[in-house]
Structure formats: C-alpha cells, structure tokens
Amino acid sequence: MPSIYLDHNGTCPPRPEAVAAMVAVLSLPGNPSSVHAQGREARRRVEVARRQVADLVGLPPATLIFTGSGTEANALALAGAVGRRVITSAIEHASVLEATLGAIRCPVTADGVVDVGALNGLLAGGPALLSLMAVNNETGVIQPVAEVAALARRHGALFHCDASQAVGRLSWDWAAIAPDYLTISAHKIGGPQGVGALAVRDGAPLSPLLRGGGQERRRRAGTENVAGIVGFGAAAAVCDVAAFNRLANLRDGLEARLRAAAPGLRVAGAGADRVANTSCLVTPGWRGETQVMALDLAGFAVSSGSACSSGKVAASHVLAAMGLTPDLAGSAIRVSLGWSTTAEEVGRFVDAWIGLHARRAPSPVAQQADLSPQDRQSVVSQTTRQQ
C-alpha cells in the first residue's frame, strides 16, 4: 500500500511547479554575482523569484533577504535585538526559543493563544524585541498578530513574526500589519527544503549573521542557492489560500469521526481559531510516539510534536504551556493536511486510526485518571449507555 502523507506542517511535498522550475535552472552555470551573461541570467532568475515570494506576502521585493531556512531567518531577525530585551511567547518554535535563552516568555491561554494582557505588561518594561509566531506549528492555533503588532508599536518595541505556518494559508495584509521582521519558509508552501526568507522593514536594525560577501545587499553573505530560490518562487506563485481553506471540511470531519470513536480524545486548541489543515490529537493513555510508529507501519505519515524535535522522547513544550500534564502532552499526534491531500486519504487514515485504537485501547474507565473532569464525565456517561 502506498504511504499517505499527512505531515504537511513538517514539510510539504514539493509542488510540481517548483520541481520543474528547479530542474530548469540546475544546469545554469552562472553565479548571480558574476557580470557575464550566465551570471546575469542567474541573477534574473533570483530576482524573479524574489518578486514572486514578495507578491505572496504583499511586501516590496527589496525587503526580502533569502536565507538557508526559516530557522536562519528567525536567527537573523533576533540578532536585531542588540540593547533590547527579547520577549517571546511560551509556544514559539525551537529556533526562536533556543536562540534566545534569556528571553522573557509570555504565557498563553489553555487554547494556546498568547495572553495579550500579560504581553502588554511585559512590553511596558522597557525597550524590547517581541517575537511571536503567526500560527503554531503543532496545534494550528492562529495568534492575534495584528493586535500584537499594534501593541508593540505603542510600546516602541520591534516586532518579529515567524509566519512560516501562515504564509500561503491565511489571507492577511502583511503590509498593514507591518512587522519589522517576517519569516517565510519555502518548504512549508511546497517549495524546496533549505531555503527561507526574512522580510525586513525599511529602517529596522539588522546585524548580518554571515559576512564576507556582497550578496543580498550585504545583509547575508554567501552565493545564493539559485535552484532553491527559483523553486521557492515557483511555489509561492501557485499558492491558493482559498483552496487551502477548503481543507477545513476534511479536518473537521476527521476530528468528528475520531471523537465519536474515542470519547476521551481531545483536540488541542479546538476552542481557538486554527488554520484549516491542522489537528493536534490528544488520546489519553496512548503515547504519541507509539501512535506515530503504528501508523507508519500502516502506511500513514504523521508526527508527534515538532518535526524539528524528531528523535527526542519529550513532551511538547507547546502543550505543556497550554496546561496539559506531561502524560497528556506525551499522548499527542499532529495530523496536518496540505495541497496534495485527498478526501479518500483522510478517510483511510481515520479508518486505520480507529482500528489501531480499538485493538490497543484499555477500557474507557481505565483511562479516566488522565482525563479532565469534563472528559471523565463524558466517558462515564458513554460507558453507562453501552452497558
């Protein structure tokens, strides 16, 4: 049976348009910094891609710096915090949290939304750079970015937004939101891995991480990855937010069927606005990594926690920040749909998950110790009805 890929938040399968564009330039010999014809052609291809990515986010092409990843883009943004406190939310990607070990972490609600009141108090404490993701990679919860950006401006703080999981998925007016720094990642929209971009507002401080060359207007040294950048641009050009949002019907149907089959299951962040493709499923008493392995053997690719933390047997810091116990946080898997996902694939996944759950799950009453009072009552009621 061919594998069914449901880990688009980890990385999207490359779009055919991106692959074709990359193949077309792989044989070009020119360095984009060279002045001869081949170099000029390579430069032209890079600048076409820059316009394509800039058009996707509605920002001027000159603001974009191509990087080697979204992680590098985040690090480049955070390097602008010289002389300022760094404030992040408690649910940021590891590339933000581990790059700013002394950062102040703002709490989030039980649904995974940043506590704006607490953030207001933190921003009042003096000059700061605030880093907040637009969409959480594990839960799909959408953050109040426009409100937070305005709040940061009122306090004179710089604002960095990691939009890796939002670009191509939300129709936001980034020019109106006006973050000082905006992170974009190619492989989250169906482009290649190993390419990202940071949009920098004109006048925002920037301290290059890589020096020794004039590339990217001296903001990021090193010969550009022409093929990767061209693939990035091609993917950006075919992003369709309306088509992406239609995935909500598949996601909601998936969650409804699983909840009916496993009354103790909860969906992390279900009480907040989420992007259309993401389900973080918490099943008490069934370890997330066990589910991932069982589903992999059955031909389904899902994840447990962030893809950047693969191989680590540790509960999600995102779910812990949302108030889940270590046992519950360790019982989560993430299912994320994307441009290539079909209704048939989702249906087959649901059938497989229900079958695996039925074969391994202890009795509902035996799981009650891991449940909230509300979920425990639901289980008891259902068990009573079944007796």
Catalytic annotation on 308?
Answer: yes
State the amino acid at position 195 in one-letter form: V
Which residue is catalytic, options 12, 161, 280, 308?
308
Q: Kindly report the number of other CB atoms within 10 A of residue 20's CB atom.
A: 12
Find all residues with CB under 8 Å of 60, minimum gap 6, and list them.
Answer: 54
Half-sphere exposure of 271 (CA within 13 A, CB side): 7
How many angstroms separate the Cα of 308 from the Cα of each of 278, 303, 328, 335?
17, 11, 20, 15
Q: Give me the residues paired with residue 300 across strands.
A: 4
Could you give the CA distance from residue 321 to residue 329 in angstroms, rounded to a whole number? 10
How many angstroms separate the Cα of 170 from the Cα of each of 8, 45, 64?
15, 27, 19
Give me the DSSP letters along 22-72.
HHHHHT----TT--SHHHHHHHHHHHHHHHHHHHHHTS-GGGEEEES-HHH
Half-sphere exposure of 249 (CA within 13 A, CB side): 7
Q: Closest Cα partner for 135 from 244, 52, 13?
A: 244
CB–CB of 375/48 below 8 Å?
Answer: no
Residue environment code for 241-255, b if the CB has 16+ CB neighbours within 10 A, otherwise e: eeebeebeebbeebb
Q: Give me the residues paired with residue 372 across strands.
A: none
377 three-state secondary structure: helix
CB–CB of 141/124 below 8 Å?
Answer: no
Could you give the CA distance from residue 77 to residue 288 in angstroms, rounded to a whole number? 33
196 three-state secondary structure: strand
CB–CB of 77/96 below 8 Å?
Answer: no
Q: Which two tokens stand for residue 15?
A: 């779009």
Q: Which residues are identified as catalytic? A: 308
